[in-house]
């Protein structure tokens, strides 16, 4: 260990006992000691500031709870706008820059804004405009002119520029209930295990010209998979809401003998495997197709794709080509279904915690398997410990775009 330190060891040891001075990982150790462990999605500077608001304070004090939420969440998930204010319109913010929409949207109504002007800073509540009719983006935002214990009245008295930071949460409490609603950006991102459509049989083909299909499913294994493949007109699969989308990466394998893995099949000819789609009462080939070599165990199409919608009926079709004299044994096939638009990268089972995903798995960072769409449970646990005894916490992910005001 290097002794070239600016501070003596005694001073460093003292600082490790103070939330205001300790560095990672000592800060996390202190937070855990005080029964307020830092959630993994909140940075250390934000959590340090939040802890300093409540660490030795009384439980259940509204102002302190608000300050805790503000310091913990706003630095990372607050949205900043540059605006102008005018004495002629004392309740109005006029958009100049900020956000991704070129103005204010429905998400900005019924929200708390911290507005800083040349004359000072205040916390305000937005009440308009109504986006139920009219344009989806507005150049102005109306603030409440009535003050409460929660926010200040909007009464701008001078013209000038302003910085308006939209807080990523709102809260309310009544009847021993504490309600917290936060932007989805402050939540665990929703990622779902995508269903996989699979096909299987005990055997297929056998002689030149034989054509078969397999029973397909997006659920558990089918009893019919223990039987040979069926005539080509019977085995349709109907696309569901969960399996609709872009299908790609058709993978087909067969003749894998666990008792003799090195065995090479000799079928006398090749097999063509094609995904068919029912069009006008007739099954037509799609772009997904591959050819299994006479001595091959695996075939794939990783180049093409097909877009399918709910209700489409498809078949996995196998045809024995010239020279075939043996069937494929225990054939299995599957396709990859693209993640729905807007779903973040994730849902992949990585080999270990240090693995780096490929571009397809989300080049921005690790994309592990997780289920979510809710507020971080570690954060809610800390908030429960700050409420008065007996108060029930209701933490919710709020889609502020669906209504003018969350409450």
Express each pLDDT in 120-173 by its tens digit.
999 999 998 988 777 789 999 999 999 999 999 999 999 999 999 999 999 998
- Is the pLDDT at 3 greater than 80? The verdict is no
Q: Which of 176-180, 342-346, 397-401 has the highest mean pLDDT?
A: 176-180
Comparing 85-99, 222-236, 300-314, 385-399, the range with the smallest average pLDDT is 222-236
- CB of 43 closer than 8 Å to CB of 372: no
Taking phi over 0 as left and psi of -120 to 50 as alpha, with beta for the rest, 80 belongs to beta
- For residue 224 the two structure tokens come to 């019919």
- Is the pLDDT at 404 greater than 50? The verdict is no
Q: Which residue has the higher pLDDT, 311 or 228?
A: 311
Q: Please report, in angstroms and rounded to a whole number, the separation of the first and last CA atoms in the chain.
A: 55
Express each pLDDT in 5-23 by its tens digit.
778 888 888 888 888 888 8
Alpha helices (runs of H) in 3-86, residue ranges in sequence order:
9-15, 26-33, 44-54, 62-77
């Amino acid at each position: 260990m290097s002794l070239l330190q600016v501070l003596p060891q005694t001073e460093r040891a003292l600082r490790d006992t103070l939330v205001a001075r300790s560095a990672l990982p000592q800060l996390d150790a202190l937070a855990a000691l005080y029964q307020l462990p830092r959630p993994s999605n909140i940075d250390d500077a934000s959590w340090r500031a939040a802890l300093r608001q409540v660490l030795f304070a009384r439980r259940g004090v509204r102002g302190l709870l608000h300050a805790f939420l503000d310091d913990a969440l706003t630095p990372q998930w607050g949205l900043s706008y540059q605006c102008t204010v005018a004495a002629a319109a004392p309740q109005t913010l006029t958009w100049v820059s900020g956000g991704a929409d070129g103005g204010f949207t429905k998400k900005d109504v019924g929200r708390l804004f911290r507005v800083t002007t040349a004359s000072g800073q205040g916390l305000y509540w937005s009440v308009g405009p109504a986006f139920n009719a009219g344009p989806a983006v507005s150049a102005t935002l109306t603030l409440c002119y009535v003050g409460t214990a929660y926010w200040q009245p909007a009464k701008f008295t001078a013209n000038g520029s302003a910085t308006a930071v939209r807080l990523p949460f709102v809260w309310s409490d009544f009847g021993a209930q504490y309600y917290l609603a936060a932007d989805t950006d402050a939540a665990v991102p929703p990622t779902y295990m995508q269903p996989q459509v699979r096909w299987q049989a005990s055997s297929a083909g056998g002689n030149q010209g034989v054509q078969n299909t397999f029973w397909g499913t997006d659920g558990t294994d089918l009893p019919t998979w223990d039987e040979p493949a069926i005539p080509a007109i019977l085995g349709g699969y109907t696309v569901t809401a969960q399996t609709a989308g872009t299908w790609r990466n058709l993978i087909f394998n067969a003749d894998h003998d666990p008792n003799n893995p090195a065995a090479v099949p000799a079928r006398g000819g090749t097999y063509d495997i094609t995904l068919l789609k029912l069009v006008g009462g007739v099954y037509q080939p799609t772009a997904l197709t591959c050819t299994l070599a006479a001595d091959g165990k695996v075939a794939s199409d990783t180049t093409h794709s097909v877009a399918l919608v709910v209700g489409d009926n498809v078949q996995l079709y196998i045809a024995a080509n010239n020279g075939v004299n043996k069937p494929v044994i225990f054939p299995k096939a599957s396709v990859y279904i693209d993640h729905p638009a807007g779903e973040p990268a994730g849902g992949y089972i990585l080999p270990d915690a240090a693995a780096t995903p490929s571009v397809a798995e989300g080049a921005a960072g690790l994309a592990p398997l997780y289920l979510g769409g809710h507020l971080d449970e570690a954060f809610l646990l800390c908030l429960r410990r700050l409420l008065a005894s007996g108060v029930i916490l209701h933490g919710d992910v709020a889609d502020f775009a669906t209504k003018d005001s969350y409450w």
